[in-house]
Each structure stands twice: as structure tokens, then as C-alpha cells.
């Protein structure tokens, strides 16, 4: 009697592939009036889904009109739920005592579209060299100010949750409006795994009986 037994062995090998960065719009918030001399200020929010971990973030302010830029404090807050809340005050009365300057801060006006990113031009330096109003552009208020937070505060957090922008006027005699706002993020997805099924070996054994 002759019997032939073939044994097929297979192994699964897992390769970890680093996720590629993905940049894009996270969400948009409605505009609002900015009340004069009111530290509570005004806020609007949007809800975002999960699109990965944040590697870089930019806050865009559309049609911000406000005299005396040194009155304003701007804070972005991310509420991920279950008590997980993080805030970053990325503009804090530029040119005021927070900056080691005067009581009232910079008298240059906001009158355009502005973005804030940690790699932007220094806000206070730009205000000091501006004319009546600050030119539209991308700014950062981190380099010279101890009273502000880097937007990198949000790095490593998942994008999912409620995002809120608050803007407050903290001195008398000036009011303004914000036409709308949005947040752009660069995200890095969790590392993916690719499973490849390969043939590790084929053994044949012949038995005679």
C-alpha cells in the first residue's frame, strides 16, 4: 500500500506601513458680532468626525473687522467628550501689558482675512510695522508673548469632537464683527497593517507500507 501525504505550511507576515500626512478643511463656524468691553465675548462651534491625529492646525478668520486689535483675545477649544477638553488662547491683546507694552495694546485695526498658524509671521512685529490696518496673511502670536498658547497644543489629538472659537473685546469704545471662521488640519492616520499570505514551505513525505 502506498500513501502520499503532502503538508502545506503557510505563514502570515505583517508589515507596518507609516500613514501619510493628509491636509484639509476640518470644519467651519458661523460668524458673530463681537461685543464691546465684554470678557465673555462671543462664540460659535462646529462638530467634526475622526480623520486622524493632528500634526498641524491653522485657524482661519474670514472678514474680521475690528478697530484696535489690542482689545481682542481669541481662544480655540476642542471638546472630545467625557471631560477631555483642551483650549489654546492663540491671540491675547497684542501690544498690551501681556506683551510688556501699554495698557490698551495695539491700535492697528483688523480689516480682512487672517489665518493663525505657529509657523506664521509674528503678529506683534507685523502690527508694529502696519499702517491703519493689518494686511491679510498668516500670523503667529507665540514668539513674543508669554500669555498665549501655541496651536501645537492640539497636536496628537484625534480630530473628532466639538470645536469652538471664542473672541472677546477687553477694553472700551471699540466693536467689531467676524464673518466666519474655519479650521484646517494636517493629520497623520494610525499606522496601517498589510498582511501578506505567502507560502513558507511545501514538504512532501512518502510512506510505503
Going by C-alpha positions, the residue among 179, 43, 34, 28 that lies closest to residue 112 is 179
What is the total count of domains within the chain? 1
Q: Which domain holds residue 129?
A: 20-189
Identify the pLDDT of residue 102. 67
3 inside domain: no
134 inside domain: yes
Identify the pLDDT of residue 196. 28
11 inside domain: no
176 inside domain: yes
Identify the pLDDT of residue 136. 98
Q: How far apart are CA 194 and CA 9, in angstroms?
A: 20
Identify the pLDDT of residue 201. 38
28 inside domain: yes
197 inside domain: no
CATH at residue 166:
2.60.120.260
Answer whether 183's CB lies under 8 Å from 61's CB: no
Identify the pLDDT of residue 85. 98
185 inside domain: yes
pLDDT in 10s for each residue of the chain, 209 residues = 544 444 333 333 333 334 567 889 999 999 999 999 999 999 999 999 998 999 999 999 999 999 999 999 999 999 999 999 999 999 999 988 766 666 788 999 999 999 999 999 999 899 999 999 999 999 999 865 567 999 999 999 999 999 999 999 999 989 899 999 999 999 997 555 222 223 333 344 444 45
Q: What is the DSSP annotation of the chain?
A: -EEEEEEEEEEEEEEEEPPPPEEEEEEEEEEEEE-TTEEEEEEEEEEE----EEEEEEEEEEEEEES-GGGEEEEEEEE-STT-EEEEEEEE-TTSGGGTS-SS---PEEEEEEEEEEEEEEHHHHHHT--SEEPSEEEE--TT-TTS--GGGGTTSBS-EEEEEEEEE-STT--EEEEEEEEEEEEEPPPEEEEEEEEEEEEEEEEE-
7 inside domain: no
Answer whether 154's CB lies under 8 Å from 86's CB: yes
Amino acid at each position: 500500500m502506498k500513501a502520499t501525504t503532502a503538508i502545506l505550511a503557510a505563514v502570515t507576515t505583517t508589515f507596518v506601513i507609516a500613514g501619510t500626512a493628509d491636509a484639509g478643511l476640518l470644519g467651519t463656524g458661523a460668524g458673530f458680532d463681537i461685543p464691546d468691553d465684554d470678557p465673555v465675548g462671543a462664540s460659535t462651534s462646529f462638530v467634526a468626525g475622526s480623520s486622524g491625529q493632528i500634526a498641524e492646525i491653522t485657524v482661519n478668520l474670514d472678514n474680521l473687522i475690528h478697530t484696535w486689535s489690542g482689545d481682542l483675545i481669541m481662544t480655540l477649544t476642542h471638546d472630545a467628550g467625557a471631560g477631555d477638553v483642551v483650549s489654546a488662547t492663540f491671540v491675547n491683546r497684542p501690544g498690551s501689558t501681556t506683551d510688556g507694552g501699554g495698557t490698551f495694546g495695539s491700535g492697528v485695526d483688523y480689516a480682512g482675512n487672517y489665518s493663525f498658524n505657529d509657523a506664521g509671521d509674528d503678529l506683534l512685529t507685523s502690527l508694529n510695522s502696519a499702517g491703519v490696518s493689518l494686511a491679510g496673511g498668516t500670523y503667529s502670536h507665540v514668539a513674543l508673548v508669554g500669555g498665549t498658547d501655541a496651536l501645537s497644543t492640539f497636536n496628537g489629538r484625534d480630530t473628532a469632537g466639538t470645536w469652538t472659537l471664542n473672541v472677546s473685546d477687553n477694553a472700551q469704545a471699540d466693536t467689531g464683527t467676524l464673518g466666519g471662521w474655519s479650521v484646517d488640519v494636517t493629520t497623520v492616520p494610525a499606522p496601517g497593517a498589510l498582511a501578506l499570505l505567502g507560502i513558507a514551505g511545501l514538504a512532501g513525505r512518502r510512506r510505503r507500507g
